[in-house]
Amino acid sequence: MNFLKPGLFLTAVTLWLWTSGQGPVAEGIADSLRKDAGMVKRSDIMEIDIESPRKARIHRKYVYTILNSTGDRYADIGTFYDKFNDLADVTAILYDANGKVIKKIRKNDMEDWSMAGSGILMTDSRIRFYHFSWRSYPYSVSFEEEKQLNGLFNLPDWRPQPSPDIAVESSSLVIRVPAGYPLRYKQYHYPGQPEMAEQKGGTTYTWEMHDRPASNPEPFAPAWFRMETSVRLAPGEFEEAGYKGRLYSWADLGKFIGGLYRGRDELPAEARANVHQLTDGLKDDKEKIAVLYRYLQQNTHYVGIELGIGGWQPFDATYVYHKRYGDCKALANYMVALLKEAGIRAWNVLIQAGQAAPAIDTGFACNQFNHAIAVAIAGSDSIWLECTSQLLPPGYLGSFTADRDALLLNDDGGRIVHTPVYGWKENRFDRTVRGTISDNGSLQASMQTGYRGLEQDALQAEIDRLPGSELTRQR
Amino acid sequence: MKLPVFLIPVFVSFCLTCAGQDTGPQGRPDMDFGTVTPSTFAPVVYSIDSTANAVILFDHGEVNFEPSYANGHEFSYILERHTRIRLLNKNAFSLANFTLSTLRKSNMNPPYIENFKGATYNLEDGKLVVTKVDKSNIFKDQNGEFNQEKVVFPNVKEGSVIEYSIRIVYPGAFIPPWTFQGGYPVLWSEYDVTVPTLYDYVVKHQGYQKYVVDSTVFSTAEFPVSFNGFIGTWSGQTIRRIWALQNVPALERPEPYTTTLANHLSLISFQLSAIRMNGYNKTYRSNWNELVEELAKMDKFGSPLADRNRWVDDELKNITAGLPASQGSLAKIYAYVRDHFDCSNRESIYMTRPLKKVWEEKRGNVADINLLLIVLCCHAGFEASPVILSTRTHGLAVDDYPLLNDYNYVICRVTADGNTYLLDASKPYLGFGQLPEICYNGWARVIDNTLDKVPLFSDSVTEKRTTLLMLANTDSGYAGTYMRRAGIFESMDLRQRMKRETPDQFFQSLEKTMADYKQMGSYGFDSLASPDQPVSWHYTMKYNFTRKTIYFNPILHERFNNNPFNAVTRHYPVEMPFCFDNTYVLNMEVPKGYSVDQLPKSASVKLEDSTGLFTYDIQSDGKTIQFRTRLQIRKAFYGLDEYQGLRDFFSFIVGKEKEPIVFKKID
């Protein structure tokens, strides 16, 4: 074991320099770390103290030196908080090239914004934000915050080098867990194992990165998040807003979420009557699903409201029936309730949505989801249903959620399933042009174009959204 | 800005001796809350616009004054707004959830929301079903400086009617503006405002619609007032003005070359111009003289400029390095401020912090930065004054009626070596003497004793672009160079763009558009980092011609592929962002092994008033081809009656620019 890690030494030196009144200066940065870098992390320590399944404390402190204008965005100070993450205090300081303090701010000097916007109407996820600006390079910013986690369902990731234009002098993650509490973690591109130290009352895990230069990714290189060093954390036992759970497997995650959903699929009598009126006369399950999906689409619409545990617990089916709105999980839950009433087997599915979203890591059970859909069985076919769309046909998901692993919530908790793949056979673009070229060189032609599968997503959205006159004008 | 009105809340008397009618005009709907009946649902489609996703059945605003409101002891206006909307299809469901924002705290008493009432109506089996908006549908939030109330109407489906009424209190003498026109058609929009003649207002009307109601009713009132220590009782006339528009079409989608729809929509706005009563008279901004005096005294505008500011002299020494006052030293001062200060987005003519703080933190808004520049210039021995203007997206300021709220941007006018310059140091991509495009929006006013007007119109500036393409038969094949020198505004755009992408990415995307027989060689930008110079970009290329027939279009990278004025009808006048003058020159040798089979004919076309000119000159002696095309637009504003001419003009250009030179392989 190395006693004198160079990075730790540097951190100690810089810390000593600050306490002696001098702010961070760029002189100490090695040339190898300046190359290709917009910003250099002088030090970045995240300490997580897990006190119980219900409580953890996070202390983060970093110092960044910004070398040129490409690194300006790293001077922005932002920190998230919500009902489960209390922000106790924040201190941030801006230093000029000589280490002189230009500005120092505390939590109350920062702007306070809701994370609502683009689809989410109301949420208690919030951000404290401050924009430091300085135009003479290099300059530095330091940041220190103390957060209390009231529930371990979501633990932060450690990403020492979140972008290739960042060079890292030193970054570390230190986690303390009480005795007997197993820490679940997964490392990506991290050489070796974390350092573990037993102390009375618990164990400390440490991951570190030192002297990692910035890089210039080659064209068509994989997305940076696939190449960067990171550590993902998840709890074993945890508690969130009074609901207890464990997270050792996908089934465990499913059981916890299932517990939040329990009892919320009761339909009022009028709704049940509607279901039977619509489907009792139909013989084919596929038809029943289609009819009920259309019923959902015509009678509800999406409004994003996520508050507290309501970020995970859906509005109950009765609420959605009466209000005619809900977010993705409320609408999916309502859909499943309608289907079950018609005697169809159906389940809620948690998924990471987005056309370019990264695939979930099925080898590590933890929360990797941002959306909920539903799936129903008709004979030997699975019919997938995007419940926030009032325009998609039943059984078609589109690029938003196609071709990826997801978590199906069932009576045993949950299991990983894979959504339909739309491949080159399904995604067709056919265009036929029939024309005549006359003697003077002009062409008179008619053109017919067919779009299938994912090819038609964009065009169909436009057709649904715009009136005919506008469509013609745009074409 | 706090108005000096303090009220002793005692006794108010109203005397209604009406002079005027109150009969409803034809078409005026019943605008009481809850008067929705099954017949409201009758229309499946509305004749005003059969493709509308929603129709505003009515939008009613009523403003009344309260001499002393609630516990505020302050004269206030109360706006009651009541709106009823028919949602025809799901595309308009976003109207059923909205956010009401009010400023949380500030030096002035901001307006606040007092009451919100809402309901959704549906027709089910011929019966009217009412679902009220209750507490569970309203979410309170805070964002930055704003308090927000987010409302979600329940039980909404296609065909539903929603209505809401909201009461907003405006402490002070500010009357909120009213917009008659928006993104959806409105069947009836009415604004009903009652003011005591104690206050005089300048009323600005905008839009092309004619009022169907425009009435005035007089009455009297009496109440105690207090201004700056003067205490008295005001008694006099009140005026009630009602304006209404019927069948207002939705704002048309922005058409190409419209500056901003905000300049065209129907609206009314008010600005206080005087307080008048016996014993106390105060005029506000009725003319520029008074306005300039007022601004000069403000601690957020003129008074910091008049301070000693001794610290400036020391800082100046470092910047000008002892140079005497000249254009050279002025340019140094300007460049220093432009390059070392960070400007926030908030546009305003008022400073946000003391000058010294602006200097220390090296940041501020447009006013902070440009007023600081003026102070530096004055201390360096130059004559410098602020100039205020309204930017393009902010709407048009009417110079004849100075309304301070109409102005949102400050620049500097500085004289050096006998020349006058307009400077804006708030954007890193501006060169000395250059202003951003958004500033060219009408008359700007110099805030000093001269009271000068500065014309900053779209046609005050001409954007000049020059492009040169040369191609020849060389030892290594048919090759050449392309060079474009951008105009002032295109240079600004390119500088901003090159902060987000790299030159490599720029040229790579250009290369993707090239035919397979064309290959790009070396490439580069010039003067990207020198804002005083225009930006040029250039690249070398090689062509590998193998086919029997080559269709070569002589114009690269700047053809009008489509007529920007394609639409048969136009709703708004055409507003070019600036005049322009684009010249394109091509000198080429005929490719070896080929001969000219077809050469486009030279041609020219111009607009009726000659403000638009397009020339296309091409000639060839069989071995070389010289080509030159020039497009000049010398006027920035074209009225609706000139649209057809403009359309034909561009139609000709599009057609002409499509014509290729045809080369045929020599056997």
pLDDT of B9 > 80? The answer is no
Whether B232 and B321 map to the same domain: the answer is no
The pLDDT assigned to B519 comes to 93
Domains (range + CATH), chain A = 6-182+200-215 (2.60.40.3140), 249-418 (3.10.620.30), 429-474 (no CATH)
B191 vs A440, residue with greater confidence: B191
Q: Cβ contacts of residue A356 below 8 Å, gap of 6+?
A: none
Cβ–Cβ below 8 Å for B499 and A69: yes
With CA atoms as reference, report the closest residue to B633 among B658, B614, B652, B651: B614
CATH of the domain at B333: 3.10.620.30
pLDDT of A11 > 80? The answer is no
Interface mutation vs chain B, best among A122, A141, A297, most B CBs within 10 Å: A122
pLDDT of A445 > 60? The answer is yes
Whether B405 and B517 map to the same domain: the answer is no
How many whole angstroms separate alpha carbon A397 and alpha carbon A383? Answer: 10
CA-to-CA dists, residue A473 to B511, B562, B565, angstroms? 30, 13, 12
Q: Cβ contacts of residue A207 below 8 Å, gap of 6+?
A: A158, A172, A173, A187, A190, A194, A195, A231
Taking only the tens place, the pLDDT of each residue in A311-347 is 789 999 999 999 999 999 999 999 999 999 999 999 9
With CA atoms as reference, report the closest residue to A146 among A53, A64, A81, A72: A81
Band of pLDDT at residue A444, cut at 50, 70 and 90: very high
Percent of chain B with pLDDT over 70: 94
Q: Is residue B38 part of a domain?
A: no
B116 vs A441, residue with greater confidence: B116
Whether B212 and B317 map to the same domain: the answer is no
Over range B585-605, report the average pLDDT: 96
Taking only the tens place, the pLDDT of each residue in B533-550 is 999 999 999 999 999 999
With CA atoms as reference, report the closest residue to B482 among B562, B558, B581, B592: B558
Band of pLDDT at residue A139, cut at 50, 70 and 90: very high
Q: Is A433 helix (H, G, I), strand (E, B) or coil?
A: strand
The pLDDT assigned to A116 comes to 84
Taking only the tens place, the pLDDT of each residue in A115-131 is 887 778 888 889 999 99
Q: Is residue B27 part of a domain?
A: no
Whether B411 and B476 map to the same domain: the answer is no
The pLDDT assigned to B280 comes to 76
Side-chain-side CA neighbours of residue B252 (13 Å): 15
Whether B164 and B90 map to the same domain: the answer is yes
Taking only the tens place, the pLDDT of each residue in A386-421 is 999 988 999 999 899 999 999 999 999 999 999 999
CA-to-CA dists, residue B344 to A438, B361, B395, angstroms? 60, 12, 20
Whether B507 and B591 map to the same domain: the answer is yes
Over range A353-358, report the average pLDDT: 86
Interface mutation vs chain A, best among B93, B121, B500, most A CBs within 10 Å: B93
Band of pLDDT at residue B105, cut at 50, 70 and 90: low
How many whole angstroms separate alpha carbon A106 and alpha carbon A109? Answer: 5
Q: Is residue B357 part of a domain?
A: yes
CATH of the domain at B531: 2.60.120.1130
**Domain ranges, residue B408:** 288-456
The pLDDT assigned to B10 comes to 23
Taking only the tens place, the pLDDT of each residue in A266-324 is 999 999 999 999 999 999 999 999 999 999 999 999 998 887 776 789 999 999 999 99
The pLDDT assigned to B608 comes to 92
Chain B positions touching chain A (beta carbons under 8 Å): 51, 90-91, 93, 97, 137, 139, 141-144, 148, 150, 152, 154-158, 253, 339-342, 344, 360-363, 499, 567
**How close A440 comes to chain B (CA, Å)?**
13
Overall domain count for chain B:
3
pLDDT of B7 > 80? The answer is no
Beta carbons within 10 angstroms of residue B41's beta carbon: 17
The pLDDT assigned to B320 comes to 83
Pick the last residue of a domain from B456, B482, B508: B456
Band of pLDDT at residue B98, cut at 50, 70 and 90: confident
Whether B347 and B242 map to the same domain: the answer is no
Q: Which of A122, A134, A465 has the CB atom closest to B91's CB atom?
A: A465
Q: Is residue B311 part of a domain?
A: yes
pLDDT of A195 > 80? The answer is yes
Q: Which of B142, B156, B339 has the CB atom closest to A324's CB atom?
A: B156
pLDDT of B36 > 80? The answer is yes
The pLDDT assigned to B290 comes to 83
Whether B171 and B226 map to the same domain: the answer is yes
pLDDT of B89 > 70? The answer is yes
Tell me, what's the ipTM?
Answer: 0.78
β-bridge partners, A166: A39
CB < 8 Å to A470, chain B: 51, 253
Band of pLDDT at residue B24, cut at 50, 70 and 90: low
Whether B275 and B234 map to the same domain: the answer is yes
Cβ–Cβ below 8 Å for B340 and A136: yes
Taking only the tens place, the pLDDT of each residue in B220-277 is 988 887 776 677 788 899 999 999 999 998 887 778 888 777 778 899 988 888 888 7
CATH of the domain at B114: 2.60.40.3140
Q: Is residue B302 part of a domain?
A: yes
Whether B379 and B424 map to the same domain: the answer is yes
Over range B652-657, report the average pLDDT: 96
CB < 8 Å to A468, chain B: 51
Q: Where are the alpha helices (DSSP H) in B251-326?
A: 288-297, 303-306, 311-320
Q: Is residue B508 part of a domain?
A: yes
Taking only the tens place, the pLDDT of each residue in B48-60 is 888 899 999 999 9
Cβ–Cβ below 8 Å for A122 and B141: yes
Interface mutation vs chain B, best among A323, A469, A471, most B CBs within 10 Å: A323
Whether B355 and B480 map to the same domain: the answer is no
Chain A positions touching chain B (beta carbons under 8 Å): 69, 102-103, 111-114, 116, 121-122, 131, 133-136, 298-299, 301, 303, 305, 307, 322-325, 390, 464-465, 467-470, 473
DSSP B17-48: EEES--PPPTT----STT---GGGG--SS-TT
Q: Is residue B66 part of a domain?
A: yes
Pick the last residue of a domain from B238, B267, B283: B283
A105-114, B15-24, B63-72, B132-141, range with the lowest pLDDT: B15-24
Cβ–Cβ below 8 Å for A390 and B253: no
The pLDDT assigned to A464 comes to 81
pLDDT of A83 > 50? The answer is yes
Q: Is residue B26 part of a domain?
A: no
Whether B449 and B487 map to the same domain: the answer is no
Mean pLDDT taken over chain B: 88
Band of pLDDT at residue B278, cut at 50, 70 and 90: confident
Band of pLDDT at residue B456, cut at 50, 70 and 90: very high
Over range A441-455, report the average pLDDT: 92
Q: Which of B91, B152, B361 has the CB atom closest to A103's CB atom?
A: B361
